[in-house]
A and B are shown apart, each in its own frame.
Chain A
Amino acid sequence: MNTFKTERFRDKQLGFAMYLIAEAIMFATLFATYFIYTPTAINPIPEEVFEARTVIISSVFLLTSSATIHYGEKAVEKGNHKGIWIGLVTTFLLSVGFIGMEAHEFHIYYKEGFTLTENLFLSSFYILVGLHASHVLFGMGWMLVLAYQKNRIPFMNYAQKQNIFSYYWHFVDVVWIFIITLVYGPYLFY
């Protein structure tokens, strides 16, 4: 009986991997857009806008959350229910921290007049980083649904759902790594 489930679940894994390829191409196109338009002839330039502190703090939040969701995955494999909860809750809290920092960052930019339409560097920055942020938000909603389902559906189904989620979450994290190194990095750390 179990083997049947695994077959269907492997369909899902492959399908989701394909979906992530599509997403990766979307982000790649947005990165390309950013490179094309940054820096622009019109001020402000990235060095004026970016601020290392917020980027570092939010990165710490998000990158740690990849570790915690990985911990949650291991817990699923071992059937360790307490570990699953720890993984899920810490991941969620870290994502709250990340989104909080990012909202704070955008807020400051806007206060300083660095808005979406100010110049094309900022436009391409916001449509890229904003799309990533909306992925994080979507993931947070997803985690809430997972938490709700945890004790309400058979464990096998829960395990499958969390597994797919953790692929998603790692993907969102990888995109963030590219954002740090390619969007912020050249203007902050070199």
Chain B
Amino acid sequence: MTFYLFDRSFYIASDVLLAYITVILSGAALFYLITKANKWPTIKKYVTTTHHRKIGVLYLLSATLFFIRAGIEALIIRIQLAVPENDWWVFQGDKFNEAFTTHGTIMIFFVAMPLLIGLMNVAVPLQIGARDMAFPYMNAVSFWLFLAGAILVNMSFFMTASPNAGWTAYAPLSVSTYTPEAGNDYYVFGLQVSGIGTILAAINMIVTIVRHRAPGMKLTRMPLFPWSTLITSFLILIAFPVLTIALYILMFDRMFGTQFFTGEAGSPIYWQHLFWIFGHPEVYIIILPAFGIFSDVISTFSKKRVFGYTSMVIALAIIGLLGFMVWVHHMFTVGLGPLVNTFFAITTMLIAVPTGIKIFNWLFTMRKGLIRFTTPMLFSLGFIPTFVVGGVTGVMLSVAAADMQYHDSYFVVAHFHYTMIGGTVLGAFAGIYYWFPKMFGIKLKDTLGKWHFWLFVIGFHITFFPMHLAGLNGMPRRVYTYLPKDDVFIYNFVSTIGAFLMGLGTLAFIWNIYQSFKKPDYTGNDPWDGRTLEWSVPSPAPEHPFQPMPLVKTIDPLWEAKRNRGGKLPEAESARSAPIDVTSWQPIGLAGMMMVFSLAFIYHQTWLQIIAGIGVLSFFVIRNLTDEHVRVTREEENE
């Protein structure tokens, strides 16, 4: 679209223009509503907070926002693919590449990750009897770095420079020779900044779980969501640094003239190795926490202790371990040789064993249980068969010889959506419905929740099941159209219908949140008749919970207390010192500075790189000079 201003013509793509208009209008509306409702003080509280529950809410809120954006992209992709030789709006060729790249990148890094880390923040400290995360200040830093990275990737579209080399950013396409525009620089810096936040979040989780459990809460008495969080955090700690370095090298290739991934001596395959050494553990990073959520939810709503607790923990650990030994299954077609392919095919198939153990344990947990079909439970029940399909296609893909056919086809697209939507997204929904009372003191509406569930799950299968068939009939992934004679029209058409059903489901979810705040159902401590410690503290969770500190003597301590002690948890004689809570503008300031720093690199502004670099470093100094531990020592000395 071209328009004229002061005798000059400007060109702006109509999709970008529309996005600007939408964002500016909704921003203005939001501003107006916040001002009218006098909510700025609340917002300030959230921006400067270091409290785990509030930070968890911030993660979930941003994830929902990005879910909407990447969801709109998904609908765009589906519309363009609805009929053969479609020529809808602008989404052909490179625009289509941009749409699926940002869709995938945002969904994985800025939806799945923050949904899970958000739920961990809300629930894990309360489930283990911790008074906050071990490092509240760093927790805020993690969140704001994550958000800064997410905004970078999201803003690229508005600068008409979206990344376009796929969420996997395969070289040589991702290298500046082939994509000189700023798009993939946004990818590099966005993921880098948010990745640092994620590593810090994992460190925080590890220390919280290792050192802040309530007295008596041995590791062997810990609920399974904290367990999966602990194992996931170790996966993050090991996998994300590899991504950090992969992006660091890619940055040199794109900006400083090196040729690691291209040219005569460079090797595009090396990027694939680095990416998948990170990338495969990453897919387990986003599924294991969901496994933890399902375990807790299923146990609560079956009124039974989780079946095979020990085997559940061991299975988590084995999946985590094997997760590092399977990355080549993404590279079977590269030609690394039959021996390598066979080895990685076998390790990949092995993962199905612990995964199967978990599935059976969930089923046995429900067996003879007193099942209540609440919304979180429905999501868990929907998860089991869906995820089994994803697992079965996974094992099919792991047969290296067969993968020569499946690879890069819609069959793979179907596989990973069955695992990631069927697992991670349903898990996150279950968790949100389950712990919503702990976040806000109110329940989400059950009826609307059921609408949400059924629309979303039915829509999901209508969307993704046909993709298996499209893939088996030879439709490659990442193409913007196909021909009538390709015989895949019907699958695509059905898929597109399903996608809109999922969209409706998501609208039901958002409507549910709105309704639940408008006509709140206030709940007490324990709306679900829960089993674990988080249901012993008020809803929403207070800033200083666990006074007095409970003494844990079994798995499911609250349940045990209800059965044998009239619901009163035994009290511990003494508790360790709580983390120091502060409010601070520094985390958001640091993240903002990191964003400026990244933009200075993306647009090659050396002077700004220097200024922003000094700015970032000065935050380290400021932090050190305003350290709350010093203040606390002084206060205690003065007593």
* Chain A residues within 8 Å of B, Cβ to Cβ: 1, 4-5, 7-8, 10-12, 14-15, 18-19, 21-23, 25-26, 29-30, 33, 36-37, 40-42, 116-117, 119-120, 123-124, 127, 131, 141, 145, 149, 153-154, 156-157, 160-161
User: Which residue from B211, B260, B621 sits with its C-beta under 8 Å from A33?
Assistant: B260
Q: Do A120 and B579 contact each other (CB < 8 Å), given the known contacts A15-B204, A160-B629?
A: no
Chain B, range 172-214, C-beta contacts under 8 Å to A: 199, 202-204, 206-207, 210-212
A–B pairs, 11, beta carbons within 8 Å: A4-B577, A5-B577, A7-B211, A18-B203, A22-B241, A26-B244, A117-B257, A124-B260, A153-B630, A157-B627, A160-B629
Q: Do A19 and B257 contact each other (CB < 8 Å), given the known contacts A7-B577, A157-B629?
A: no
Chain B residues whose CB sits within 8 angstroms of the CB of A5 once the complex forms: 577, 633
Tell whether, in the assembled complex, residue B579 and residue A33 are in contact, meaning their CB atoms are under 8 Å apart: no
Residue B544 CB within 8 A of the other chain: no
Tell whether, in the assembled complex, residue B266 and residue A29 are in contact, meaning their CB atoms are under 8 Å apart: no
Q: Contacts A8-B577, A120-B260 known; list 14 others, CB within 8 Å.
A: A1-B636, A11-B212, A14-B210, A18-B207, A22-B240, A29-B274, A33-B260, A120-B258, A120-B259, A127-B248, A131-B248, A153-B627, A156-B633, A157-B627
User: Which residue from A8, A11, A14, A149 sits with its C-beta under 8 Å from B625?
Assistant: A149
User: Which residue from B138, B241, B256, B637 sits with its C-beta under 8 Å from A154?
Assistant: B637
Q: How far is the CA of A11 from the CA of B579 in the complex (A)?
A: 9
Q: Do A154 and B634 contact each other (CB < 8 Å), given the known contacts A120-B265, A149-B625?
A: yes
Chain A residues whose CB sits within 8 angstroms of the CB of B246 once the complex forms: 29
User: Which residue from A11, A26, A42, A141 sits with its C-beta under 8 Å from B245?
Assistant: A26
Chain A residues whose CB sits within 8 angstroms of the CB of B138 once the complex forms: 15
Q: What residue of chain B has the Cβ atom nearest to residue A161's Cβ?
A: B624
Q: Do A19 and B203 contact each other (CB < 8 Å), given the known contacts A117-B257, A124-B260?
A: yes
Chain A residues whose CB sits within 8 angstroms of the CB of B249 once the complex forms: 33, 127
Residue B158 CB within 8 A of the other chain: no
Chain A residues whose CB sits within 8 angstroms of the CB of B319 once the complex forms: none
Q: Do A36 and B204 contact each other (CB < 8 Å), given the known contacts A25-B242, A127-B252, A145-B621?
A: no
Q: What residue of chain A has the Cβ atom nearest to residue B256's Cβ?
A: A116
Q: How far is the CA of A131 from the CA of B244 in the complex (A)?
A: 13
Which secondary structure dominates where chain B touches chain A? Answer: helix
Residue B511 CB within 8 A of the other chain: no
Q: How far is the CA of A145 from the CA of B241 in the complex (A)?
A: 27
Q: How far is the CA of A123 from the CA of B257 in the complex (A)?
A: 9
Q: What residue of chain A has the Cβ atom nearest to residue B242's Cβ?
A: A29
Residue B600 CB within 8 A of the other chain: no
Tell whether, in the assembled complex, residue A11 and residue B244 are in contact, meaning their CB atoms are under 8 Å apart: no
Tell whether, in the assembled complex, residue A157 and residue B633 are in contact, meaning their CB atoms are under 8 Å apart: yes
Q: Do A10 and B211 contact each other (CB < 8 Å), given the known contacts A18-B203, A37-B265?
A: yes
Residue B72 CB within 8 A of the other chain: no
Tell whether, in the assembled complex, residue B135 and residue A15 are in contact, meaning their CB atoms are under 8 Å apart: yes
Return A130 CB to nearest CB of chain B, in Å: 10
Q: How far is the CA of A37 from the CA of B263 in the complex (A)?
A: 13
Q: How far is the CA of A123 from the CA of B620 in the complex (A)?
A: 30
Chain B residues whose CB sits within 8 angstroms of the CB of A26 once the complex forms: 241-242, 244-245
Q: List 8 A-B pairs, minimum CB-CB distance, nearest first.
A: A25-B241, A4-B577, A29-B245, A123-B258, A117-B257, A26-B241, A18-B203, A154-B633
Residue B270 CB within 8 A of the other chain: yes
Q: How far is the CA of A41 from the CA of B620 in the complex (A)?
A: 43
Q: How far is the CA of A42 from the CA of B620 in the complex (A)?
A: 42
Chain B residues whose CB sits within 8 angstroms of the CB of A37 once the complex forms: 260, 265
Most buried by B among A21, A25, A149: A25
Q: How far is the CA of A123 from the CA of B266 in the complex (A)?
A: 11
Residue B124 CB within 8 A of the other chain: no
Chain B residues whose CB sits within 8 angstroms of the CB of A7 once the complex forms: 211, 576-577
Chain B residues whose CB sits within 8 angstroms of the CB of A21 once the complex forms: 237-238
Q: How far is the CA of A10 from the CA of B245 in the complex (A)?
A: 29
Residue B595 CB within 8 A of the other chain: no
Chain B residues whose CB sits within 8 angstroms of the CB of A4 once the complex forms: 577
Q: Do A15 and B259 contact each other (CB < 8 Å), given the known contacts A4-B577, A40-B265, A42-B265?
A: no
Residue B617 CB within 8 A of the other chain: yes
Chain B, range 208-248, C-beta contacts under 8 Å to A: 210-212, 237-238, 240-242, 244-246, 248
Q: What residue of chain B has the Cβ atom nearest to residue A12's Cβ?
A: B135
Residue B81 CB within 8 A of the other chain: no
Residue B116 CB within 8 A of the other chain: no
Q: How far is the CA of A141 from the CA of B616 in the complex (A)?
A: 13
Q: Do A11 and B207 contact each other (CB < 8 Å), given the known contacts A1-B636, A23-B241?
A: yes
Tell whether, in the assembled complex, residue A15 and residue B207 are in contact, meaning their CB atoms are under 8 Å apart: yes
Chain B, range 600-639, C-beta contacts under 8 Å to A: 617, 620-621, 624-625, 627, 629-630, 633-634, 636-637
Chain B residues whose CB sits within 8 angstroms of the CB of A11 once the complex forms: 134-135, 207, 211-212, 579
Tell whether, in the assembled complex, residue A120 and residue B637 are in contact, meaning their CB atoms are under 8 Å apart: no
Q: What residue of chain B has the Cβ atom nearest to residue A127's Cβ?
A: B252
Return B498 CB to nearest CB of chain A, in Å: 40
Return A44 CB to nearest CB of chain B, in Å: 13
Return B628 CB to nearest CB of chain A, in Å: 10
Chain A residues whose CB sits within 8 angstroms of the CB of B257 once the complex forms: 116-117
Q: What residue of chain A has the Cβ atom nearest to residue B245's Cβ?
A: A29
Q: Do A15 and B134 contact each other (CB < 8 Å), given the known contacts A4-B577, A120-B259, A157-B627?
A: yes
Tell whether, in the assembled complex, residue A117 and residue B237 are in contact, meaning their CB atoms are under 8 Å apart: no
Tell whether, in the assembled complex, residue A141 and residue B256 are in contact, meaning their CB atoms are under 8 Å apart: no
Tell whether, in the assembled complex, residue B211 and residue A14 are in contact, meaning their CB atoms are under 8 Å apart: yes
Return A120 CB to nearest CB of chain B, in Å: 5
